Amino acid sequence: MVLLSFLLSGCLTSSGPVRSGTARVVTTTENLGPPDTTTNTGAYIGTAEYRIGAQDMLEISVFQIDDLNKTVRVNSSGQISLPLIGTVLAGGLTVSELEVLLATKLSETYLQDPQVSVFVKEFSSQRITIEGAIGGPGVYPLKGRTTLLQAIAVAGGVSDLANLQGIVIFRQVDGQKMAAVFDLQAIRGGNVEDPEVFGDDVIVIDVSGPRSAMRRFLEAFSVFSIFRPY
């Protein structure tokens, strides 16, 4: 609840939770874009722009040379160690940039025109925080493209006290704090999009009842699934 109180402190100001005319409206969460933190230490999971981070697990393969295929975890310094090549700085590179770097190093001495493939098996550098009426509140790594429903399931599912129409995702984009409220029942029924979550997202599940800590904040969101400043 300390985290929840901190988040709400910026929302419940004297001018109201959301000032009239300042909301940034998007038709789907895909139009919102990734959080600011994805520009350097990580990136939008599932695209070629993902930037490898510490603790990510990579599957590296070299075409027709099985002895060079290896699964490695990026260490805290952003480095990996591979046969023939040794230590390589992978942190901060996109998948395609790392593929080119490894192919270049192998071709310098050992191979002619090697074809290197890199697959990110676990996106451990990307983490989300889940708080509120949830079975297992805490910080969880993203192990691939993850939706809101999947994130809630990983955290043990919502508790019996959860307000299913009060699922809030907090995110910072372009230097601006954004939030959106989601209706879990509508998502489960396939009536609205199950939004993708990103590294550094904070997901808060409201508790049922008129006196919940988030009640005033939720009342400001008359439309679900729309990200807006707060």
Q: Is the pLDDT of residue 203 over 90?
A: yes
Local structure of residue 170 (DSSP, 8 states): E
Which of 72, 97, 122 terminates a domain? The answer is 122
Question: Domain tally for the chain?
Answer: 2
52-90: burial string, b at 16+ Cβ within 10 Å, e else: bbbbbebebbbeebeebeeebebeeebebebeebeebeb
The residue type at 40: N
The set of residues, in sequence order, having a beta carbon less than 8 Å from that of 210 and lying 6+ positions away, is none
- Domain assignment present for 102: yes
9 with 116, same domain: the answer is no
107 with 218, same domain: the answer is no
133 with 113, same domain: the answer is no
pLDDT tens column, 134-191: 999 999 988 777 899 999 999 999 999 999 988 999 998 878 888 888 999 999 988 8
24 with 136, same domain: the answer is yes
Q: Check which CATH number belongs to the domain holding 167 and give it.
A: 3.10.560.10
- Domain assignment present for 49: no
Which of 89, 122, 155 terminates a domain? The answer is 122
64 with 87, same domain: the answer is yes
103 with 133, same domain: the answer is no
Return the closest-CA partner of residue 220 out of 7, 11, 25, 27.
11
Whole-number percent of the chain with pLDDT over 70 = 70
90, 82 Cβ separation under 8 angstroms: no
- Domain assignment present for 151: yes
**Tokens (6 digits) for 32:** 């919102």
**Tokens (6 digits) for 211:** 């006196």
Highest-confidence segment of 25-29, 77-81, 188-192 = 77-81
The domain of 110 spans: 57-122
Confidence (pTM): 0.60
As beta bridge partners, residue 196 has 147
Please tell me the distance from the alpha carbon of residue 115 to that of residue 61, in angstroms, as a whole number.
8
Residue 54 binned pLDDT confidence (cut-offs 50, 70, 90):
confident
139, 190 Cβ separation under 8 angstroms: no
36 with 149, same domain: the answer is yes
Q: Check which CATH number belongs to the domain holding 107 and give it.
A: 3.30.1950.10
